[in-house]
Amino acid sequence: MFWEDLRKLLSGPLLYRLDGLIGAKLVPVLYALGLAAIGLWSVDHLFASFAFNFGQGLWGILEILVYAPLWLVALRIACEIILVFFRANEAAAAAVSRSRRRTSLLDEVGDAIHDLAENDEDDIAPATDPTPFTGSSSVGTGRSGAPVDVDPPIKGTLPRRAARRTPPAQP
């Protein structure tokens, strides 16, 4: 898979066009080269330290056991930082391309209204429900003690209706 990806990279148009970043695709190559470099350093250091004397060779093995894992961790962290950078760049580029799709402010306002209507749809009471009691009484008592509406509705006014729940009243 590694060699196939490298072949696609070198033979495809991605290498010669500047509209896309290839750094994220080169990070595995960088990681493989780093692993190879650490392995070569370990073997070279082992033979070089044993070339002096046996005691120096044992000290070289200890150095390899300490420094090689540290370099492996440092290589891994560096490659992950590079990948995070490229992924953040891709996310920013996607956000820019999404924001360019809007053609006008009117479209954005319409989308915002639709989003608000979808979010607040559960909070709207249907117009068929009675209005909630507000604490003030508009009902009094007549001469016979029967309840009488003190504030009769004004003729020609339409009942209150909620958004998108009930059809408008026919006058």
pLDDT digits (tens, 9 = 90+) for 107-126: 778 888 888 877 765 555 55
Listed by start position, the domains of the chain span 2-107
Q: Determine phi and psi for 149, rounding to 5 degrees.
A: -75, 120
pLDDT in tens, 18-56: 666 777 888 988 999 999 999 999 999 999 998 888 888
* pLDDT, mean over the chain: 76
Phi-psi bin for 20: left (phi > 0), alpha (psi -120 to 50), beta? beta
How much is the pTM? 0.49
